[in-house]
Structure formats: C-alpha cells, structure tokens
Amino acid sequence: MIEKTIFVTGGVCSSLGKGVAAASLGCLLESSGLRVTLQKIDPYLNVDPGTMNPYQHGEVYVTDDGAETDLDLGYYERFTSAPLSRDNSVTTGRVYQAVIERERHGEYLGQTVQVIPHITNEIKSRILTVARNTDADVQLCEIGGTVGDIESVPFLEAIRQYGQERGRENVIYIHLTLIPYIGVAGEMKTKPTQHSVKELREIGIMPDILLCRTRSPLPKDMKEKIALFCNVAPRAVISAVDIQSTIYEIPSWLRQEGLDRIVVEKLGLKAHEHDWSPWQKIVDTIKSAPRCARIAVIGKYMELQDAYRSLFEAIIHGGIGNDSRVEIVKFDAEDLEQRPAGEILADVDGILVPGGFGMRGIEGKIQAIRYARENRIPFFGICLGLQCCVIEFTRNACGLAGANSTEFDPKTSHPVVSLLAEQRDIVDMGGTLRLGAWPCTVKPSSRAQSAYGQDEIMERHRHRYEVNNAYIEQMQEHGMIVSGICPQGNLVEMVEIPDHPWFVACQFHPEFKSRPRNPHPLFRDFVRAALEYQTRKKK
C-alpha cells in the first residue's frame, strides 16, 4: 500500500503542462531512488477519450492492458519507469458509470444517491485502488482541468477528503499556475495565482507547493510576495519557466529549483543522492548533437501539437539512439493529392506514415509511400501506415487495380485490408477496437528481427481493420514480405521490402513503448537508415 500521495492541480488556465510537470516530478523522484506511480483524473463525461477526435483531445494513448487513455499517461510512461494500466486513468464518465450500475444492482437500496458521498467515495476508492495495487513509494495523481471548472468540483472535494483522512504528513498538494507577463507594463503579475489559490482554499485545499509557469525565472522578491499571499514557504514557490528546446529539459530545470528536495522533505521520504548525468546526456543530444536527420511525417492533423504526440517523441528517441538530432517535417496528406510527391518530399531523409482513421488524405499517403518505395527512401508505416503500404503495393507492384481497404471502399474488387473477423458484429464504438498488447513473432533474418534482436515481441494495438491474408502470397511474389505475425489469429503484424534500404511497416503502435532512456528499436533503425541515406545523397 502506498502511504504517500502527491496531488497536482492546475489553475488560471488550461494547457500549462500539468502532465509534463507531474511526469517530471516522477522522473526526479525515481532518480532519487524512489518508486513512483502516476494517475490521471479527467473531469469529462466520456468514459474514455477513445471516441473523441484529435481536435478535441489530441492523441489517444494506449496502455499494455488496452485502456484508451489521456495522452498525459504517455508522458508518465516516457519520463518514468512506472508501468501503467486501466486503473491509472479515471474519468467522470467511468466514475458515474460505476455508481449508476451499483445503484441499478440495488447496492444503495433505500438511499438517495448523491455526489457527496457516493461520487466522492467512488473517486477516493479509485485513488486507493492504485495505492493498494502498486508496489511504489509515492503516488502522483493529476487532476485534469482547471480549478474553478464546474466539472472539477467533485474531484477537488474527494482529494480534500483524501488528504484529511490519510493525514497531512502523507498527502501534499501541488498547484500549477501561470504568472503572466504584461508587455506594456513590462511586469509579471501574481494576481491570477493569488485568485486561483484563494479558490482552492475556499474548497478546503491548502497547496503546499506552487509551480509557477513564467517566461523567465521569478525574482526572489516576487517569490516572497507569492509566498506571503498564498500561505506557502518562499522556497515552495517554484519557477517553471517556458522551455523552448525540449520537454526533457523540464526535469533538469525543476531539479535546479529544488522541487524534488521540498517534496521529499514534506512527505518524509527516504531519498538517495543520484547521478543526473544520463538524463542530462539525453537533453544534450536533443539540443546539440552534430548530426540531424530530416524525417517527414505525412498525417492529417499536422497543425495540432498533440495529435501525434507519442509518435513525435518516439522519432526524437530514434535520434537519441543514434546520437543524433531529428528535424520532424510535417506534411498534410491532402497536399500530396494536389502536387507530385517528388516536389513536396524532395529534401527529406526518411518518410513516415502514422496511424489514423477515415478516408481523408488516404490517396496522398499512398502517393508518399509510392515515392519512398520507388526512390529507395527509408520508409516507416504505422497501423494505417501499414495498411496504406499494402494498398499501394498491391495496386502498383502486384497490378491489382482498385485494391483498397474496406474502410475506404466497402465494394472494392480487391479488399486487401478488411475488417477483423471479431469486429464484424460489433455495434458499440467505445472500447471495441483491437486494443492493447498482443504478441508478434518476427521472421528470422528480417529487418524486424535485426531491430528487435529477438523473435517474440509484445506491442500495443488500436485498430479494427487488418491485412487480408488472401493477398499475402501475391505480395510476397512481388517482393513485399510479412515479417511479423500474431500467432493468435494468424494476423499480419509487420511487412517489409527486403530489396529496399529500409522499408518497414507495422500494424501495432511502437511509439507507445518508446522511451528517451530506451529508444524503440524500430524508430532507432529507421532514423539510422535515414542518416545513412543522407550520407549517400551527399556523395
């Protein structure tokens, strides 16, 4: 049972980076020899973010056990070694669903079911579930949304009660706020922070530490002013400055500000001196490695920062794995439907087509794949990217005109990608994709095997459609091999073209398992191939 809990709330406005802040603190505590786990509570009514589109919610992150979760869980897993599962992601939808189901079963017979205590009890029990089932020293629990939102109220009340019940020596509250800079006055302003803390205190929560987002470090007198007005110690007012270079620098900055030391002290944890240099090396590589690969990503939501969050991070990790930087160049797939791929993609060292749903931009992705295949440019396809590869190859190399996925053309004469058998009778949309970790056997002497260095792997999935095994023989005759198979159901997991410098695609999402400290082998090898291509081009 975890005794110590850290709650992280946010004030003033959204998008201040609570997830990265919580993950960074987790990273710091871990490197002090403590074991951590992290949990995210989202106040929206969806049971999970699985049915929201990326404009609403950014990427949907998938855990090993197949939960579709908030992308902050991705930060938690990348910054720490905490294994996360369904229990680490809580939403209002899930909480209410459980309480209402219990009410229908008659478990509250005779009672009026209310927000306090029934909903708040359910929230506390979900926090406790993680505390009870995880073998860690500290639990970090992030409350989504902003203090003051109507939706957050039951969660704030629940975490207030939790602190009361478990004792203030075991529970601390960290509040992330914004110190805006008013250009015309040339000043940083503390008033919004004071108001936000006042709001928390009205609910009965006294923050112990304030993480203040600022453009530049807070001067001593400003920290003292915030401390005085907000009833915290001056050293518990931490500058969380805007970091332009890389998010992996945030833990280093917070460490310099003494965040981990205050947390350790307040919770009475036993921390050890630690060597920060391995993490610093990651930061240095991202910022200043001499080599840099230009990687094109052909997607649909390129203007959104968060729609392909884990993917972009995994590409950066692929760079780290080669002591190199990467420049990610984002292309809208629909542009490739208007102009020749050779014009748009002339300058890149590698091309990646990521996952996605729906028809828009498909033909553009197929054009990009054809260009990579015919011009021997390193190519990496993920999920929908693999499906598009198979469509392109069967159309243009096997000569099957009109080959398609039944997702895009239900009446295609060559359904080279079609609905998984188990999906045919499914009508509910939520949580019904093929999700989570499934085994894959990789083919000896393939690029897949050389990347992984092993024959059996586990990777995370999120899809409904699948390569149609009836076409595999034709694909192989023309030079595209199946290099990974899921033994359960004999499903195609990976394809590649041996007679190409590096052309690999997978049905799973390797980006979910890549870490800065442990770059994913496929991303590492893809970036390596891109760097080799760059060298060849220069000759």
Q: What amino acid positions are annotated as catalytic residues?
A: 383, 509, 511
Task: For residues 442 and 457, give the distance between their C-alpha atoms in angstroms, rounded to a whole number.
Answer: 8
- Nearest distance from C-beta of residue 50 to ligand GLN, angstroms: 11
Contact between 407 and ligand GLN by CB under 6 A: the answer reads yes
Q: How many residues bind ligand GLN (CB under 6 A)?
A: 10
Contact between 383 and ligand GLN by CB under 6 A: the answer reads yes
- Nearest distance from C-beta of residue 434 to ligand GLN, angstroms: 8
Contact between 463 and ligand GLN by CB under 6 A: the answer reads yes
Contact between 357 and ligand GLN by CB under 6 A: the answer reads yes
Q: Which of 76, 79, 465, 526 binds ligand GLN (CB under 6 A)?
A: 465
Q: Which of 384, 391, 398, 485 binds ligand GLN (CB under 6 A)?
A: 384
Nearer to ligand GLN, 355 or 510 (CB): 355
Contact between 511 and ligand GLN by CB under 6 A: the answer reads no
Nearer to ligand GLN, 310 or 367 (CB): 310
* 265 contact partners, CB below 8 Å, separation of at least 6: none
Q: Where are the alpha helices (DSSP H) in 330-399?
A: 341-344, 362-374, 384-396
* 479 contact partners, CB below 8 Å, separation of at least 6: 397, 497, 498, 499
Nearer to ligand GLN, 229 or 357 (CB): 357
Q: Which of 19, 49, 356, 510 binds ligand GLN (CB under 6 A)?
A: 356
Based on the number of CB atoms within 10 Å of its own CB, is 192 exposed (0-12), middle (13-18) or buried (19 or more)?
middle
**DSSP-based three-state secondary structure for 298:** strand
**DSSP-based three-state secondary structure for 444:** coil
Q: Which of 225, 443, 464, 478 binds ligand GLN (CB under 6 A)?
A: 464
From 241-249, 351-359, 451-459, 523-531, span contacting ligand GLN (CB under 6 A): 351-359
Task: For residues 10 and 243, give the distance between their C-alpha atoms in angstroms, rounded to a whole number.
Answer: 18
Overall size of the chain counted in residues: 539
Contact between 160 and ligand GLN by CB under 6 A: the answer reads no
Contact between 68 and ligand GLN by CB under 6 A: the answer reads no
Nearer to ligand GLN, 310 or 449 (CB): 310
First to last CA, the chain: 60
- Nearest distance from C-beta of residue 446 to ligand GLN, angstroms: 22
- Are 394 and 474 spatial neighbours (Cβ–Cβ below 8 Å)? yes
Pairing of strands 379-382, 503-506: parallel
From 18-26, 123-131, 355-363, 491-499, span contacting ligand GLN (CB under 6 A): 355-363
Contact between 229 and ligand GLN by CB under 6 A: the answer reads no
Nearer to ligand GLN, 54 or 207 (CB): 54
Nearer to ligand GLN, 426 or 458 (CB): 426
Task: For residues 216 and 211, give the distance between their C-alpha atoms in angstroms, rounded to a whole number.
Answer: 13
Nearer to ligand GLN, 397 or 492 (CB): 492
From 100-108, 304-312, 328-336, 458-466, span contacting ligand GLN (CB under 6 A): 458-466
Nearer to ligand GLN, 465 or 512 (CB): 465
Contact between 207 and ligand GLN by CB under 6 A: the answer reads no
Task: For residues 139 and 133, give the distance between their C-alpha atoms in angstroms, rounded to a whole number.
Answer: 11
CB atoms within 10 A of CB 5: 23
Based on the number of CB atoms within 10 Å of its own CB, is 170 exposed (0-12), middle (13-18) or buried (19 or more)?
middle
Of all residues in this chain, which one has the CB nearest to ligand GLN in the complex? Answer: 355
- Are 484 and 441 spatial neighbours (Cβ–Cβ below 8 Å)? yes
Q: Which of 4, 300, 373, 462 binds ligand GLN (CB under 6 A)?
A: 462
Nearer to ligand GLN, 237 or 384 (CB): 384
Element (H, E) at 452: helix 447-452
Alpha-carbon separation of residue 193 from 83, 145, 180 (angstroms): 34, 16, 9
Q: Which of 10, 19, 50, 355 binds ligand GLN (CB under 6 A)?
A: 355
Task: For residues 5 and 160, give the distance between their C-alpha atoms in angstroms, rounded to a whole number.
Answer: 12
- Nearest distance from C-beta of residue 509 to ligand GLN, angstroms: 7
- Nearest distance from C-beta of residue 479 to ligand GLN, angstroms: 24
CB atoms within 10 A of CB 46: 17
Cis preceding linkage at 54, omega within 30: no
Footprint of ligand GLN on this chain (CB under 6 A)? 355-357, 383-384, 407, 462-465
